[in-house]
Amino acid sequence: MRALRKQGSQDIQTITPRDLRVIGAALYWAEGYKWAEGYKRLQIRHGKERTYHPVALTNSDPRLIQIFLRFLRETCNVPEESIHIDLRLFPHMSEKDIKNFWLKTTKIHEKNFGKTYYGVSKSSLGKRPYNRLPYGTVLIRVNNTQLFHTIMGWIEGVARQGETPIAH
């Protein structure tokens, strides 16, 4: 099994800019936009109705968070000051320790960290072992409706690939 994992890891040498766009879109498709869809709000600007869609992804895996941040920074050219983070922790966790972990992991400035929420979501009550998420969960948020629609277009492009035979 270790040999298979080692070989699989070696199969991925570098990630091209195109690869990163596809990876980011797929991550957002799987882990992000469902939350953002529920978050859309109607706003009135210059007398016209507009729907506000943030780009938001929640996860607990530090490496997944790092690759999504790389996608935001390198592919989407999101400025650092536009990336916001909220933490969800469990009652037994130290906010200071967990926040320090995510500060180092994400390289996001502390002023961009928002609220820390404590508690377990209603959907996961009693379903997970006590220490399964040792760093809580992180919500990455960028308040940019145009970026949301751009990423949704990339998702459409990825989804379309499932509809046609893949060229070899």
Alpha helices, DSSP H, located in 78-144 = 95-106
Q: What is the pLDDT of residue 125?
A: 57
Is residue 43 within 8 A of residue 132, CB to CB? The reply is no
Q: Is residue 8 part of a domain?
A: no
> Could you tell me the CATH number of the domain that includes residue 142?
3.10.28.10
Highest-scoring range by mean pLDDT, 29-38, 114-123, 154-163: 154-163
pLDDT, average across residues 76-100:
93
Distances in whole angstroms, Cα of residue 129 to Cα of each of 90, 98, 132: 12, 18, 5
10 found inside a domain: no
Q: Is residue 114 part of a domain?
A: yes
Tell me: pLDDT of 36 over 80. Answer: no
- pLDDT number for residue 42: 57
Average pLDDT score over residue span 39-65: 78
Residue 153 in any domain: the answer is: yes
Look at residue 148 and tell me whether its pLDDT is greater than 60: yes
Domain holding 102, by residue range, is: 15-161
Q: How many domains does the chain have?
A: 1
Paired residues of 43 in beta bridges: 50
Residue 109, domain member (yes or no)? yes
Tell me how far apart the alpha carbons of residues 142 and 129 are, in angstroms, rounded to a whole number.
31
How far is C-alpha 85 from the chain's CA centre?
Answer: 10
In a domain, residue 1? The reply is: no
Provide the β-strand partners of residue 139.
58, 86
Residue 140 lies in a domain: yes
Over the stretch 94-110, which tens digit does the pLDDT of each residue have?
899 999 999 999 999 99
Q: Is 23 helix (H, G, I), strand (E, B) or coil?
A: helix
pLDDT band at 20 (very low <50, low <70, confident <90, very high): very high
Query: Within 13 Å and on the Cβ side, how many CA atoms surround 64?
Result: 16
Partnered with residue 48 across adjacent β-strands are 45
In a domain, 80, yes or no: yes
